[in-house]
Amino acid sequence: MPDPDWPLALHAVLAARGVTLASYVPDAGHAALIRAAEDDPSMRTVALSTEEEGVALAAGAWIGGGRSVLLMQSSGVGNCLNMLSLIRTGRFPFLTLVTMRGEWGEFNPWQVPMSEATAPAFELMGVQVHRVERAEDAAPTVDAAAASAFEGGSAVAVLLAQRLIGSKSFGEAPK
């Protein structure tokens, strides 16, 4: 049985890696992790108006000595592209966790184009991409990505497969 508490394991990994700032544009697949971050007095959550703000926020936080993570869904990755120039030009450590839409039982066709472009877009902008398909791989993958980012200075995205998140999380299809 897959572990349904993998989002809580991700929170524990991020906290252990010293992440104190979690910015997000909400996604149902991130809801449990966002809630865990909100419930953690050592972690500050920042609701964004658009995902690229989280890229700039991460760079500013890092200059101030803060470690941060950006939580978004795959559609938001497209919003980030030019802002990732900041990460690459400044060689900032950067960690983002992306819940994938548009790839497994998706009811909304608008999610498909950016879903298919998510990994290539990151790679075009110099961000390493890891992908998680199984619940038991989630925490170790995010831990490795956080190590690459905060110890190695890399820009890293972890894509959380739609199959992992489960279609139930998305609620009712639009009528």
Partner 1 sequence: MSGGMETRLDRRAVVARLLSDRGETVAVSGLGSPSWDVAAPGDHPRNVYLWGAMGGCVAMALGLALARPDVPVLAVTGDGEMMMGVGSLAVVAAQAPANLTIVVLDNGEYGETGAQRAHTAPNAPNRADLAALAAASGIRAARTVTTEAELEALAGEIPTRSAGPVFAAVTVAPGPAPRAAIANALKDMGHGRVRTRLALGLSAT
As measured in angstroms, the least distance from the Cβ of 116 to partner 1 is 26
Interface positions, 125-154, toward partner 1 (CB under 8 A): 153
Q: How far is CA 27 from CA 8, 22, 76, 144, 154, in A?
A: 16, 13, 10, 23, 25
Toward partner 1, which CB reaches closer, 65 or 174? 65
| Spatial contact of 29 and 99, defined as CB atoms under 8 Å apart | yes
Burial of 1 (0-12, 13-18, 19+ CB in 10 A): exposed
Examine residue 21 and tell whether it contacts partner 1 (CB under 8 A): yes
| From candidates 90, 113, 120, 140, binder to partner 1 by CB under 8 A | 90
Examine residue 48 and tell whether it contacts partner 1 (CB under 8 A): yes
- Which range touches partner 1 (CB under 8 A), out of 3-11, 41-49, 96-104, 127-135? 41-49
Which of these, 152, 44, 40, 55, lies nearest to 98 by C-alpha position? 55
Q: Which positions lie near partner 1, rule CB under 8 A?
A: 20-21, 44, 46-50, 52-66, 68, 82-83, 85-86, 89-92, 153
